[in-house]
Amino acid sequence: MEHSSELENGEASASQYTRDMQTERHSVREALRSDLPAAHVGLGVTVIVLIVVAGFSGPRWTLIIGGAFTAWFLLALAVIHIGSGRGRDAVRRAYIATFGWGNWI
């Protein structure tokens, strides 16, 4: 009798843990969610920073920073494309993944 009670308590706590984790993950996803306008802001800030860097240090660092953003975009596009994204949706999601940080400016 005691054994089945412990089993039920274990299942109940596992179920509670699963619900708690789902709630926590949902709140984190909502906090980190980005959208297209935020990505446009991120791209705009990136362009401004690249212009400033080009003015102070020349084309070398500008190309390095621009290349890093391009590599990040292409990596995100490849991962999304492999995952299941196709066409314009994959490009949009990769764009948001690359420049969506504009939401926090």
Q: 74: pLDDT confidence band, cut at 50, 70 and 90?
A: very high
CB half-sphere exposure, 16, CA atoms < 13 A: 6
Continuous H helices in 33-102: 36-57, 59-83, 87-99
- The pLDDT of 61-84, averaged and rounded, is 92
Q: 90: pLDDT confidence band, cut at 50, 70 and 90?
A: confident
pLDDT, tens only, 11-31? 667 788 888 788 877 766 665
Evaluate whether 86 touches 26 at the Cβ level (below 8 Å): no
Which amino acid type is present at position 102?
G
What is the reported pLDDT for 64? 95
pTM, rounded to two decimals? 0.68
What is the reported pLDDT for 11? 67
Distance CA 46, CA 83 (A): 27
Evaluate whether 80 touches 95 at the Cβ level (below 8 Å): no
